Amino acid sequence: MSLEFTQGQGAAATMEPQPITKVSIIVSKGSLEGVYPALIMANGARMEGIEANVFFTFFGMDAINKARHDAIKVATVGNPGLHLMTWLGGVPGMSALVTRQMMKQMEKLDIPPIPEFLELIADSGGKLYACKASVEMFGLTKDDFIPQVEDIITVGDFYAMAAGGQIIFT
């Protein structure tokens, strides 16, 4: 007995992929290589006219913390992607050196340092938020953050805001 699945096939053949209109990006890590992908995604979204919300949580909050956001470093230990021997990666100053090298490369490609990048994203209409739970855990207030941060919101607020769009976790 053969079953006809023509309807399913037909539907798949004629449906166009719907364009993405909104992304909500979570930034959970505080290393250079942990923050940048999220920022590139956020800026890229804005350049395509896609609405972008960026939600900083845990160590990701360092990126929006006035006291720390211009000192974010590459993790040189426990970072297999770097292909650096653990003992070398642990040498004092190695992280700063690798970070400097990487920042030079990025400057050549016209990718801005994190503080400037966040300004760019905010000026482009991207919205920045801090996670309430993390804020309380680290004992921070809105004053600790850069002025571009819209608000401190809960995870529930985040889910409401992300509704109807795509969520990207970094």
Partner 1 sequence: MTTLAAVPRNAEGFLERVEDWDRGLAREIAREAGIPELTDRHWLVVNYMRDTYIATGSAPTIRTLGKESGVQVKELYALFPKGPAKLAAKIGGIPKPKGCI
Contact residue for partner 1 among 29, 46, 69, 73 (CB under 8 A): 46
CB of 42 to partner 1, least distance (A): 11
Which tokens hold the place of 137? 């855990």
Contact residue for partner 1 among 84, 120, 146, 161 (CB under 8 A): 120
Is residue 136 near partner 1 by the rule CB under 8 A? no
Which tokens hold the place of 74? 């590459």
Range in contact with partner 1 (rule: CB under 8 A) among 1-9, 75-83, 95-103, 120-128? 120-128
Is residue 70 near partner 1 by the rule CB under 8 A? no
**CB-based contacts of 78, cutoff 8 Å, min separation 6:** 86, 89
Is residue 110 near partner 1 by the rule CB under 8 A? yes
Task: Please state, in angstroms and rounded to a whole number, the distance separating the CA atoms of residues 94 and 59.
Answer: 21
Secondary structure letter of residue 128 according to DSSP: E
Task: Please state, in angstroms and rounded to a whole number, the distance separating the CA atoms of residues 135 and 26.
Answer: 15
Binding site for partner 1 (CB under 8 A): 40, 43-44, 46-49, 109-112, 116, 120, 123-125
